[in-house]
Amino acid sequence: GELARWVRSLGGSTVGTLPLYPIFVDDPGDPSPYLPVSRLALNELYVEVSGLPELAVSDEARELLESSGFRKRIEDARQSVLVDYQLVSRVSDELLGTLASAICAQTSDRRGDFDRFINEHPHIVQYARFRSMAARRGRRWIDWPAEDNDAPPALLDDPIARRQLYAQWIADEQLGAVQG
């Protein structure tokens, strides 16, 4: 956001980045945004969680952020010479999963916005289901059984799908705010 405001103050109108597509982080040798999981979704690793309203309503998330073990993992990620995508992903997934559970446990205008996002973005629902299935079966979908008898859990009852949907919603909100 600061960069976009600075560029606008100088008369500019465009800020370029690497692609913001999601990646598979289980292959540390190839965390390339040019080999995305999807070109229809955003990389949840870029979500800024510190100001999310769900932190105010989630004791579990605040306790996690304050725990010495979690703070140590964040510090380890920050001290790494190269980006440790697996570590960053684990830390991010844990916190985003907690925040996703928090929003799904409440009735609020914000929850309504989240539900609206889900309803208006069927491609993100498909992406979330794919990521959940990939976590259960392995990411190589080509190796999945031809006959799928393993029905996925209800969308918001599935912690992986719920976390993915929440992360996509937050990433979309934050990217929209920067563009604003």
**Could you report the per-residue pLDDT of 72-124, keeping only the tens digit for each?**
999 998 998 988 888 888 899 999 999 999 999 988 999 999 999 999 999 99
Q: What pLDDT score was predicted for residue 161? A: 92
> CB under 8 Å, gap of 24 or more: what pairs does 158-161 form?
158/132, 159/97, 159/100, 159/101, 160/128, 160/131, 160/132, 160/135, 161/128, 161/129, 161/131, 161/132
pLDDT of residue 34: 78
pLDDT tens readout for residues 31-82 = 677 778 888 999 988 898 888 999 998 999 999 999 999 999 999 989 989 8
